[in-house]
Copies of this chain bind each other. A is one copy, B any other.
Amino acid sequence: MPAARPLQPAFKALADPTRRDILRRLSAREMTIAEITAHCDMTRAAVKKHLVVLKDGNLIHMRHEGRETLSTLNAQGLKPVTDWLSYFEAFWDDKLSTLQTLLTDETET
């Protein structure tokens, strides 16, 4: 049996607003831990923990250069997530979904 796609670590990594913010920043350029920390209002150790979670989710890469650790976005790691979500796009605008919404709103108003 092939290895299960790492959906869970990726979803878990995305569940924290600090980590999503870090991903946004890394989309602009590679950054050191100290640089990321400067924007995050928490200690470097805390930021490091978030980076490890992002790495476990395969959403970033980390490389060492001298005494610095440089983090880069790995946008491809988001693909399993968007693939999982794409299944539901079929329900966005079809008639069944609309009907369900109407029925539900009727009981909730």
Contacts and interface: CB of A to CB of B under 8 A. Distances in A.
Given A104-B63, A107-B64, A73 B85 contact: no
A107 B30 CA distance: 14
Nearest to A23: B88
A40 B14 CA distance: 24
A15 B8 CA distance: 7
6 contacts: A72-B103, A74-B100, A74-B104, A76-B101, A78-B88, A81-B85
Interface of A: 7-8, 11-12, 14-15, 17, 20, 23-24, 27, 30, 61-64, 72-76, 78-79, 81-82, 84-89, 91-92, 97, 100-101, 103-105, 107-108
